[in-house]
Amino acid sequence: LGGAVYRTPGREHTPAVIMILLDEMVKRRKALLSLLPKASAFVLPGYRMQYSSQNIFYRFKQNNNVIYFTGLKEPGDAVVISYDHKWHLFRQPDTPESVLWEGAKTPDDVIKQNHLIDHVHDLQTLSGFIDDLPNDVKLYLNQSQNDCVRFEADDRTLSVDPFIHRLRVIKSEYEIEQMEQSCQIAGNVFNTLRKKLRGMETERHVENYLEAAVKTQGAEGLAYVPVVAGGPRACTIHYTRNDQKLMGNELLLVDAGCVYNDYCSDITRTLQVGKLMTAAQEKVTEAVKTIQQTVLDWLAQNWKHHTLLDLQSVAYHQTVRELKGLGVDPKHVDTLFPHAIGHYLGMDLHDCPTVGMSAKLKPGMIITIEPGLYFTDSLDYPEEYRGIGVRVEDDVLITESGPRVLTENAEV
Ligand code: GLY
Ligand code: MN
Ligand code: MN
């Protein structure tokens, strides 16, 4: 449509869809305000559009913190400030050109009503608004490289992220429902992929299938660029070229998840492309499954007073045992299992990073458990294992009565 005079239908007819319940939004805001000191304001810059070139834009992705507290998903103008418990939204006003090309923005009165915003302002007035705050007010900022506005941090600015992450790491009932659905969809898609894999010729087919299948089942799309790694490519942890031929005698490591109502799932299975596995492929696969089961069993017994870091240690020691069983020198453990056993999962894939791995596990947290072994083509390892990479990953909700695997439906 570049350059053509084209009338886009006004977006005033399609006010932003609210995905979160209003009472949920109110609870989240109250919880945040109760954590922050009284004399404070906080700023959540919405993201701006991202471009692949010139004016060719990617599909817009809003800052999840903005979604979490307001449900707002329009680009470039969603800067929210809370001060004196009032919520202010600073927006770029419509121009004749923006209305012509992008359509009109959701009207202010709809924003106020549907997103519980007290006051709407022009984005240009934001810095004046902040300058006018009393001197003793601490400014809590949530900053990232995609922000639609930048602030110079000074001695009265602090990061709001640790406060937000403390809330977001514990999922509400509503959030758990979204996570269950996200995991269910991704698990179903892995199961159908298993059945259809024999008819697929390349890693690209698999990636395309994953994307189409999660969308067909109601997800927004994949949660991240999936890893579809045949044979030795599985040993490259962030392999995403996904463009090679599938071979019947190789394993295929698939790490994929979807986004459903803003919540991510994250699953890995290492699939068999052909009818038979070699003895070495089977041994490595069984070792990784055993490590995962050991961590899950330990978690069931010990979650109450422990942390992700403790799970890392359990995984490490079991990996050492498995390596010995495989006849591999365990001094290579850190190279063969070089990543974390898991992370928090939620609206972001690597959710709430400021909470850290040494926080006590609590009901409402969702974590991944993802052990792996990656035998590159190195003389350090017995020849039979070289070129075999295996990971298995599941998503686990901590409940009062112990861990519950949300991705249980995905066959192992
Ligand atoms: N898919 C990235 C991860 O498992 O953390
Ligand atoms: Mn993961
Ligand atoms: Mn993953």
Residue nearest to atom 4 of ligand 1 (CA): 266
Closest atom, ligand 1, to C-alpha of 340? 5
Cβ distance 15 to 74 under 8 Å? no
For the record, the structure tokens of 104 come out as 């009109």
C-beta 394 within 6 A of ligand 1: no
Is ligand 1 within 6 A of the CB of residue 266? yes
Distance CA 405, CA 367 (A): 10
Ligand 1 pocket test, pick from 265, 393, 394, 407 with the greatest ligand atom count within 8 Å of Cβ, gives: 393
Q: Which atom of ligand 1 is nearest to the CA of 339?
A: 5
Tell which atom from ligand 1 comes closest to the C-alpha of 255: 1
**Cα 127 to averaged position of ligand 2 atoms, centre (Å):** 38
* Ligand 1 geometric centre to CA of 362 (Å): 22
Give the ligand 1 atom nearest the CA of 223.
1
Give the Å distance between the CA of 335 and the centre of ligand 3: 19
Q: Which two tokens stand for residue 230?
A: 């045949």
Residue 149, SS3 per DSSP: coil
Residue with the nearest Cα to atom 3 of ligand 1? Answer: 266
Q: What is the 3-state secondary structure (H, E, C) of 149-165?
A: CCCCCCCCEEECHHHHH
224 lines ligand 1 (CB under 6 A): yes
- Give one DSSP letter per residue of 292-325, joined into a string: HHHHHHHHHHHGGG-BHHHHHHHHHHHHHHHHHH
C-alpha to C-alpha distances, 62 to 71, 87, 336, 412, nearest whole angstrom: 10, 18, 36, 34
Measured in Å, residue 268 CA sits from the centre of ligand 3 at 6
Give me ligand 1 centre to Cα 266, in Å.
6
Local confidence pLDDT in tens for the 412 residues of the chain: 333 322 233 333 334 445 678 899 999 999 999 999 888 898 999 999 999 999 999 999 999 999 999 999 998 777 778 777 899 999 999 999 999 999 999 999 989 998 999 999 999 999 899 889 888 888 998 888 888 888 777 777 899 999 999 999 999 999 999 999 999 999 999 999 999 999 999 999 999 999 999 999 999 999 999 999 999 999 999 999 999 999 999 999 999 999 999 999 999 999 999 999 999 999 999 999 999 999 999 999 999 999 999 999 999 999 999 999 999 999 999 999 999 999 999 999 999 999 999 999 999 999 999 999 999 999 999 999 999 999 999 999 999 999 999 999 999 9
Q: Which 3 state secondary structure label does DSSP give 253?
A: strand
Spacing, Cα 267 to ligand 3 middle (Å): 5
